[in-house]
């Protein structure tokens, strides 16, 4: 049944509302990275590295040029690693639109779901991003202990986190926070397995940008299956 949920989500990937969320996530992420780089350049200008005095050489403009070009390389490298988690976090702010699109197409008999407030959405998104980064950093520190099983550990850890997040997004709209958490605990095995399947594309460039959208759509279907039999 989980594979059926994923197939339905993939089958709707061309939905204009899905594309809107994807483009919003990528566009806002690029804008954020550009703004961060502009702020970094502003800090370098304020420090004025070109006026640094080197022992026996005096003021040296070469240092300023080196730091400026180094900052470009640094931001390009950081953007490679930050693009995915930041895009995923920003996209998560709009995952309710994905769930709405799924319900309009596949569950038209349901009344419109109440919207989660922007404050709650931002709080949940930042909490998820912090947890995602924190847990993966801790796992990275212990990598020498389980290097032989690193891919499996990566998929299991991120599968748990993704399943937890996307099921909550889907269930919260219909059940409320307390009941959504109760449902998640009761069906954690199924949710974890589905989340692990969502974690696999995280290692595939470009495709990983679709993970939040496919995850939200898949778990909307999964939630409705669970809700029917609960």
- Kindly report, residue by residue over 3-54, the tens digit of the pLDDT: 999 999 999 988 998 888 888 877 777 777 677 667 766 666 666 555 444 4
pLDDT of residue 73 exceeding 80: no
* 83-87, 153-157, 164-168: least confident range: 83-87
> What is the average pLDDT value for the chain, to the nearest integer?
78
Q: Give whole-number Cα distances, 196 to 76, 134, 190, 201, 225, in Å.
A: 30, 18, 10, 10, 19
Are residues 227 and 10 in contact, defined by beta-carbon separation less than 8 angstroms?
A: no
Please, what is the angle between helix 177-186 and helix 188-199, to 10°? 90
Q: Is the pTM of this model over 0.85?
A: no
Q: Give whole-number Cα distances, 75 to 38, 45, 128, in Å.
A: 10, 16, 24
State the distance between the two ends of the chain, measured CA to CA, in whole angstroms: 16
Beta bridge partners of 58: 54
What pLDDT shows up at residue 194? Answer: 93
pLDDT class of 187 with cuts at 50, 70, 90: very high
Q: Give whole-number Cα distances, 28 to 9, 34, 188, 202, in Å.
A: 24, 10, 32, 20
What pLDDT shows up at residue 86? Answer: 64
pLDDT of residue 96 exceeding 90: no
Domain of residue 19 covers: 2-229
- In terms of average pLDDT, the best of 25-39, 86-100, 142-156, 182-196 is 182-196
How many domains is the chain built from?
A: 1
pLDDT of residue 118 exceeding 60: yes
Strands (E), the chain: 53-54, 58-59
């Amino acid at each position: 049944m989980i594979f059926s949920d994923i197939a339905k989500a993939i089958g709707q990937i061309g939905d204009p509302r899905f594309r809107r969320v994807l483009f919003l996530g990528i566009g806002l992420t690029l804008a954020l990275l550009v703004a961060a780089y502009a702020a970094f350049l502003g800090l370098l200008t304020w420090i004025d590295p070109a006026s640094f005095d080197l022992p026996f050489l005096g003021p040296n403009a070469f240092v300023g040029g080196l730091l400026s070009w180094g900052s470009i390389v640094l931001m390009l490298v950081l953007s490679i690693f930050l693009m995915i988690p930041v895009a995923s976090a920003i996209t998560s702010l709009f995952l309710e639109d994905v769930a709405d699109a799924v319900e309009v197409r596949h569950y038209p008999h349901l009344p419109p779901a109440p919207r989660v407030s922007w404050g709650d959405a931002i709080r949940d998104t930042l909490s998820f991003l912090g947890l995602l980064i924190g847990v993966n950093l801790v796992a990275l520190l212990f990598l020498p202990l389980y290097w032989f099983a690193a891919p499996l550990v990566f998929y299991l850890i991120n599968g748990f986190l993704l399943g937890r997040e996307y099921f909550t997004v889907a269930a919260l709209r219909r059940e409320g926070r307390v009941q959504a958490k109760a449902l998640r605990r009761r069906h954690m095995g199924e949710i974890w397995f589905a989340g692990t399947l969502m974690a696999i594309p995280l290692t595939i460039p470009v495709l990983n940008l679709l993970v939040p959208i496919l995850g939200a759509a898949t778990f909307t279907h999964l939630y409705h299956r669970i809700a029917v039999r609960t």
